[in-house]
């Protein structure tokens, strides 16, 4: 497969001004008539029209109503000698029921859905399938009325009625021009929750959420999230809803989370359906952010879209940043805001940092790709969001809002690049530091890899100064050996002996900062000297993770304990606790003769103090008490023995369980009742801490051969009035390996056998259970034979296969390599059905070269077996080829 290069971009030779689509929907043979008004791009020399198509049956081509000659060049339909303006009609047919890739038009539960981003529209009709071709759309849908009573597409319904033979039709017109990746249609037996709203601007809108008939009672939270999203974007960025009607439709067969099609978002049911009985607090909060995310795309993505797919982070990084800000603003209290930031940083560091250090590392704006679907990554999304966050840090919140306003003034209705975005933010803030730093700042778009910032502090008692010296370094990544220094905003504070922030004054400057100060690193190495410091302070560096970097500072335990106890920045307070744990874990992991139970009294006492703290929020306590994940710990090591990492972390957890037992009991007692269920930040934090207490109490009980707490967990499981408490109790039992887990799992299945999303949890919980005597893999294989298992449903396949391969390191990385064998077989099996799902799974062994032997050799061989297979999809091929490079 050949790579597409960013440098090869050229404007399209033809523009499409309007598209009139007519569908005769049928699961076996859907007919599509595509009438386009074309206009030659006269800026370029005359070129043939080349239209993309994939798995289409071409019936007829008319130019200005006349039969026309054409030729095929691979997958492209090529028409030469067209007049500069013409109408082109193309008739094709497709078979939606055989579409297991879930790209283009497909059938799920007897309904029709589409997914076009990035290159799925070419599976519906021949088209210039690229985001810089924006057209006006009108769409007529015809289908059997009884089977498909609801017919939806983008924009406004302008006509509908009955046809002969029990069929009916609906005609939709989208008032906004759009790239074809935002096209959507839905047809089926669906019901809808509807809400009319009037926005601040005084306009009326209809919001609708369509689901299958049994699911209507689970749409209230998604609707509320949508209402909040509309209000927030108007209030924070002045961006109103630009459609009379805004629809969300849920489907249980979907490759990813959701899709922002103009006016007709299509969602994975996982990010729509929620009731207190079936969804956890985490589900509720994910729904809020995904509903927000897709809604915010209406401006950042749809009104202004990407010129080409290399610019993907233009819309994704920015929209993730916006959804993070939305959830943060909705969270309310300062503590809840900090909790949200910690959660986002955890995602960044456990997913994106490893990606940036592995074979798939790529810049936020990649230079080349084989299959664009492989580049919907945590780098494009989460690192992209951090890059946007740094603009805000550099120009301030008000300055950033001005920048967004200028961006829309300049580019609304266009397909643009990351450079256009950067320029708008800089131009709107002429007196900020950004304009002069912009060329260097843009290295964040071109250089892959996570920079490492090393800092050293020197206190000089005689001059009463404290000098911080920073140096930055970024390791080589595939295709990029040399890196130039980045622009790195470093927000910091200095704590005195009482834990208070010192006033900060840099040598030679008049300005005095109380609390935090923002420094900007631009050199490979540079120093900052703070004056008027009369005793050695403890530096709190990179507050709130002010840049997506690794900070190396040789903190003593005493300094970290001081930060954990006092830092005014809750993020760094949490971070200090993580560093204490990482130091202990890595020491024990690296010395295989050492006792894996690596926690000393100082650490345990500090955790006890946090648990007992009178004013800290439950959610924050839960985050501090959570040990760094096995994946995060592995990233801190040069050579990884996954079994040793697991053994040490597990031993540390047991130690926390046993040594803090009395405190877990107190904590449980204090948090077990949260009253009537609401998924707000405070009560969900309480439930999370309660679940954590129960987990540790069950762990301690099993270690001590005592059944009291498992019995309490079983009762809580049975009596729970919401899914969060019920699932936490079940997880506590399963995670402790207690025998009561078995009947509880059976009961859980019986209770929720008709709730697909809950069954996904049931499957995932079992395959991520601790691997006792190598039993996880046989259990995974057994679960794949369960009558509720299906490889074709992405959610279900992920809940069993991906959860095992990607969320159970100790169960997966087996000495006998059977986990890798299983992985390679499933990748190949899935690749024949759904390449996108397969290629995601293929990334489970990204970090193979860091593994200790024999894991390393065995993993490499498993990847090579996949790579050797003929007929692999481009998707999987690209992932395994890069892994072996
Ligand atoms: N833009 C879509 C992702 C499409 C993925 C295509 N393989 C959802 C989102 O980011 O909002
Ligand atoms: Zn997105």
Q: Average pLDDT, stretch 804-819?
A: 98
Q: Please tell me the number of the ligand nearest to residue 257's CA.
A: 1
Which of 104, 254, 266, 316 gets mutated to test ligand 1 (max ligand atoms within 8 A of its CB)? Answer: 316
Every domain range in the chain assigned CATH 2.60.40.1840: 452-554
pLDDT tens-digit profile of 597-616?
889 999 999 999 999 999 99
Three-state secondary-structure class, residue 167: strand
What top-level class would CATH report for the domain 452-554?
A: mainly beta
Cβ of 847 closer than 6 Å to ligand 1, yes or no, is: no
Q: What is the CATH number of domain 313-446?
A: 1.10.390.10
Instruction: Count the neighbouring beta carbons within 10 Å of the beta carbon of residue 71.
Output: 10
- pLDDT for the residue numbered 778: 98
Whole-angstrom Cα distance, residue 576 to residue 569?
11
Rounded to whole angstroms, what are the CA distances from 628 to 220, 559, 579, 660?
A: 35, 19, 9, 18
Buried b vs exposed e over 749-761: b needs ≥16 C-beta within 10 Å? eeebeebbbbbbb
Whole-angstrom Cα distance, residue 159 to residue 171?
5
For atom 10 of ligand 1, the residue with the nearest CA is 316
Whole-angstrom Cα distance, residue 228 to residue 247?
15
pLDDT at 40 over 90: yes
Every domain range in the chain assigned CATH 2.60.40.1730: 19-189
Cβ of 259 closer than 6 Å to ligand 1, yes or no, is: yes
Shortest-distance atom of ligand 1 to CA 836? 7
Burial of 509 from C-beta contacts in 10 A (0-12 / 13-18 / 19+): exposed
- Categorize the per-residue pLDDT at 67 as very low, low, confident or very high, splitting at 50, 70 and 90: very high
In order, the DSSP letters of 288-340 are HHHHHHHHHTTTBTTTBEESSGGGHHHHHHHHHHHHHHHHHHHH-SHHHHHHH
Cβ of 101 closer than 6 Å to ligand 1, yes or no, is: no
Q: 576 CA distance to ligand 2 centroid (A)? A: 32
Q: Average pLDDT, stretch 473-487?
A: 98
Whole-angstrom Cα distance, residue 530 to residue 528?
7
Whole-angstrom Cα distance, residue 287 to residue 284?
5
- Categorize the per-residue pLDDT at 1 as very low, low, confident or very high, splitting at 50, 70 and 90: confident
Q: 717 CA distance to ligand 1 centroid (A)? A: 36
Three-state secondary-structure class, residue 74: coil
For atom 3 of ligand 1, the residue with the nearest CA is 259
pLDDT at 548 over 90: yes
- pLDDT for the residue numbered 598: 85
For atom 7 of ligand 1, the residue with the nearest CA is 373
Rounded to whole angstroms, what are the CA distances from 387 to 97, 111, 478, 632, 725?
A: 41, 40, 21, 22, 37
- Categorize the per-residue pLDDT at 445 as very low, low, confident or very high, splitting at 50, 70 and 90: very high
Shortest-distance atom of ligand 1 to CA 294? 11
Q: 238 CA distance to ligand 2 centroid (A)? A: 20
pLDDT tens-digit profile of 748-784?
999 999 999 999 999 999 999 999 999 999 999 999 9
Structure tokens at 52: 């993309």
Q: pTM of this prediction? A: 0.99
pLDDT at 702 over 90: yes
- pLDDT for the residue numbered 183: 99
Shortest-distance atom of ligand 1 to CA 260? 11
Residue 266 host element (H or E): strand 264-268
Q: 489 CA distance to ligand 1 centroid (A)? A: 29
pLDDT tens-digit profile of 705-715?
999 999 999 99
What percent of the chain clears pLDDT 70, i.e. is strictly above it?
100
Three-state secondary-structure class, residue 27: coil
Residue 168 host element (H or E): strand 167-173
Q: Please tell me the number of the ligand nearest to residue 317's CA.
A: 2
Contact between 740 and 711 under an 8 Å Cβ cutoff? The reply is yes
Rounded to whole angstroms, what are the CA distances from 618 to 569, 608, 654, 685?
A: 17, 13, 21, 5
- pLDDT for the residue numbered 53: 98
Q: 306 CA distance to ligand 2 centroid (A)? A: 12
615 contact partners, CB below 8 Å, separation of at least 6: none
CATH 1.10.630.10 fits domain 190-299: no
Cβ of 382 closer than 6 Å to ligand 1, yes or no, is: no
For atom 5 of ligand 1, the residue with the nearest CA is 117
Residue written as token pair 């990847």: 863
Q: Please tell me the number of the ligand nearest to residue 261's CA.
A: 1
Contact between 449 and 483 under an 8 Å Cβ cutoff? The reply is yes
pLDDT at 800 over 90: yes
Q: 484 CA distance to ligand 2 centroid (A)? A: 29
Mean confidence (pLDDT) of the chain = 98
For atom 9 of ligand 1, the residue with the nearest CA is 259
Q: 297 CA distance to ligand 2 centroid (A)? A: 7
pLDDT tens-digit profile of 85-121?
999 999 999 999 999 999 999 999 999 999 999 999 9
Longest Cα–Cα distance of the chain, Å, equals 95
Whole-angstrom Cα distance, residue 189 to residue 213?
8
pLDDT tens-digit profile of 630-659?
999 999 999 999 999 999 999 999 999 999
Q: Average pLDDT, stretch 176-188?
A: 99
First-residue to last-residue Cα distance in the chain: 15
Every domain range in the chain assigned CATH 1.25.50.10: 752-885
263 contact partners, CB below 8 Å, separation of at least 6: 154, 155, 174, 243, 245, 246, 247
Whole-angstrom Cα distance, residue 375 to residue 843?
12
Which of 120, 178, 254, 259 gets mutated to test ligand 1 (max ligand atoms within 8 A of its CB)? Answer: 259
pLDDT tens-digit profile of 115-159?
999 999 999 999 999 999 999 999 999 999 999 999 999 999 999
Structure tokens at 632: 């995060």
pLDDT at 674 over 90: no
Contact between 516 and 453 under an 8 Å Cβ cutoff? The reply is no
Shortest-distance atom of ligand 1 to CA 290? 11
Structure tokens at 686: 């309480």
Cβ of 381 closer than 6 Å to ligand 1, yes or no, is: no
Three-state secondary-structure class, residue 73: strand
- pLDDT for the residue numbered 882: 98
Whole-angstrom Cα distance, residue 225 to residue 279?
15
Contact between 272 and 718 under an 8 Å Cβ cutoff? The reply is no
| Catalytic site positions | 294
pLDDT at 55 over 90: yes
Whole-angstrom Cα distance, residue 228 to residue 246?
14
Q: Which residues surround ligand 2, an ion (CB under 5 A)?
A: 316, 319
Every domain range in the chain assigned CATH 1.10.390.10: 313-446
526 contact partners, CB below 8 Å, separation of at least 6: 469, 470
Residue written as token pair 């021009």: 177
Q: Average pLDDT, stretch 407-418?
A: 98
Shortest-distance atom of ligand 1 to CA 258? 8
Whole-angstrom Cα distance, residue 884 to residue 860?
7
What top-level class would CATH report for the domain 19-189?
A: mainly beta
Cβ of 373 closer than 6 Å to ligand 1, yes or no, is: yes
Pairing of strands 111-115, 71-73: unpaired
Cβ of 256 closer than 6 Å to ligand 1, yes or no, is: yes
Cβ of 260 closer than 6 Å to ligand 1, yes or no, is: yes
For residue 492, whether the previous peptide bond is cis, meaning omega lies within 30 degrees of 0, is no
Three-state secondary-structure class, residue 793: coil
Domain with residues 752-885, CATH architecture: Alpha Horseshoe (1.25)
- pLDDT for the residue numbered 200: 85
Q: 137 CA distance to ligand 2 centroid (A)? A: 22
Buried b vs exposed e over 178-193: b needs ≥16 C-beta within 10 Å? bbbbbbbbbbbebebb
Whole-angstrom Cα distance, residue 630 to residue 45?
57
Cβ of 563 closer than 6 Å to ligand 1, yes or no, is: no
pLDDT at 281 over 90: yes
Contact between 730 and 743 under an 8 Å Cβ cutoff? The reply is no
């Amino acid at each position: 497969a050949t790579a597409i290069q960013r440098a090869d971009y050229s404007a399209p030779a033809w523009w499409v001004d309007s598209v009139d689509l007519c569908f005769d929907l049928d699961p076996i043979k859907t007919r599509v008539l595509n009438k386009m008004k074309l206009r030659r791009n006269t800026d370029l020399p005359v070129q043939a029209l080349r239209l993309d198509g994939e798995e289409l049956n071409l019936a007829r081509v008319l130019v200005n109503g006349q039969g026309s000659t054409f030729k095929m060049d691979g997958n492209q339909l090529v028409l030469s000698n067209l007049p500069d303006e013409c109408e082109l009609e193309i008739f094709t047919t497709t078979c939606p029921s055989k579409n297991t890739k879930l790209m283009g038009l497909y059938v799920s539960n007897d309904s029709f859905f589409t997914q076009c981003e990035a290159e799925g529209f070419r599976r519906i009709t021949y088209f210039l399938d690229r985001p810089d071709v924006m057209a006006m759309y009108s769409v007529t849908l015809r289908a059997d009325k009884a089977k498909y009573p609801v017919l939806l597409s983008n924009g406004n319904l302008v006509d509908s009625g009955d046809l002969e033979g029990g069929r009916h039709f609906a005609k939709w017109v989208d008032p906004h021009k759009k790239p074809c990746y935002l096209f959507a249609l839905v047809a089926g037996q669906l019901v809808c929750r509807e809400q009319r709203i009037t926005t601040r601007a005084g306009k009326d809108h209809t919001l609708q959420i369509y689901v299958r008939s049994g699911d209507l009672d689970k749409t209230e939270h998604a609707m509320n999230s949508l209402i909040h999203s509309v209000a927030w974007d108007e209030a924070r960025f002045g961006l109103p809803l630009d459609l009379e009607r805004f629809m969300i439709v849920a489907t249980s067969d979907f490759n990813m989370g959701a899709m922002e099609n103009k006016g007709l978002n299509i969602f994975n049911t996982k990010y729509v359906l929620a009731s207190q009985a079936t969804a956890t607090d985490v589900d509720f909060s994910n729904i809020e952010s995904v509903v927000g995310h897709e809604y915010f795309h209406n401006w950042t993505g749809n009104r202004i879209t990407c010129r080409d797919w290399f610019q993907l982070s233009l819309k994704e990084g920015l929209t993730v940043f916006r959804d993070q800000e939305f959830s943060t603003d909705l969270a309310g209290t300062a503590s809840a805001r900090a909790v949200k930031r910690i959660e986002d940083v955890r995602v960044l560091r456990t997913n994106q940092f490893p990606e940036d250090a592995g074979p798939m590392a790529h810049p936020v704006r990649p230079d080349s790709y084989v299959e664009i679907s492989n580049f919907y990554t945590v780098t494009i999304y989460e690192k992209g969001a951090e890059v946007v966050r740094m603009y805000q840090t550099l120009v301030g919140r008000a300055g950033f809002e001005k920048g967004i306003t200028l961006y829309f003034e300049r580019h609304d209705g266009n397909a643009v690049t990351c450079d256009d975005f950067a320029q708008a933010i800089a131009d709107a803030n002429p007196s900020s530091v950004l304009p002069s730093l912009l060329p260097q700042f843009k290295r964040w778009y071109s250089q892959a890899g996570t920079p490492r910032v090393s800092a050293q502090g020197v206190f000089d008692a005689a001059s009463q100064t404290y000098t911080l010296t920073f140096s930055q370094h970024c390791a080589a990544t595939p295709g990029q050996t040399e890196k130039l220094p980045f622009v790195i905003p470093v927000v910091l504070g200095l704590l005195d002996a009482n834990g208070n922030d010192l006033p900060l004054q840099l040598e030679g400057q008049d300005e005095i900062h109380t609390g935090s100060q923002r420094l900007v690193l631009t050199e490979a190495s540079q120093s900052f000297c703070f004056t008027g410091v009369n005793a050695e302070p403890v530096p709190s560096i990179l507050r709130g993770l002010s840049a997506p970097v690794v900070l190396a500072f040789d903190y003593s335990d005493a300094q970290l304990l001081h930060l954990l106890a006092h830092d005014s920045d809750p993020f760094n307070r949490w971070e200090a606790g993580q560093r204490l744990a990482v130091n202990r874990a890595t020491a024990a992991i690296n010395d295989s003769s050492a006792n894996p139970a690596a926690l000393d009294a100082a650490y345990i006492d500090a955790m006890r103090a946090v648990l007992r703290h009178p004013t800290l929020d439950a959610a924050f306590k839960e985050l501090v008490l959570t040990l760094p994940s096995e994946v995060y710990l592995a990233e801190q090591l040069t050579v990884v023995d996954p079994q040793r990492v697991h053994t040490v972390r597990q031993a540390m957890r047991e130690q926390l369980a046993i040594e803090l037992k009395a405190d877990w009991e107190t904590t449980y007692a204090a948090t077990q009742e949260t009253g009537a269920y609401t998924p707000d930040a405070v009560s969900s934090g309480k439930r999370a801490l309660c679940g954590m207490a129960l987990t540790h109490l069950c762990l301690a009980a099993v270690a001590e051969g005592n059944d009291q707490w498992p019995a309490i967990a079983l009762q809580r499981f049975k009596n729970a009035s919401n899914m969060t408490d019920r699932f936490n109790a079940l997880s506590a039992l399963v995670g402790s390996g207690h025998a009561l887990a078995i009947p509880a799992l059976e009961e859980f299945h019986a209770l929720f056998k008709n709730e697909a999303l809950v069954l996904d949890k049931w499957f995932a919980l079992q395959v991520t259970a601790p691997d006792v005597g190598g039993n996880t893999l046989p259990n995974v294989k057994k679960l794949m034979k369960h009558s509720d298992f299906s490889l074709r449903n992405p959610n279900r396949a992920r809940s069993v296969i991906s959860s095992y391969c990607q969320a159970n390191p100790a169960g997966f990385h087996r000495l006998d390599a059977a986990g890798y064998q299983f992985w390679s077989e499933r990748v190949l099996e899935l690749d024949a059905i759904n390449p996108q799902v397969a290629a995601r799974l293929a990334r489970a062994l990204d970090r193979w070269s860091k593994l200790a032997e024999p894991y390393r050799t065995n993993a490499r061989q498993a990847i090579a077996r996949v790579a050797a297979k003929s007929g692999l999809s481009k998707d999987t091929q690209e992932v395994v080829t890069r892994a072996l490079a």
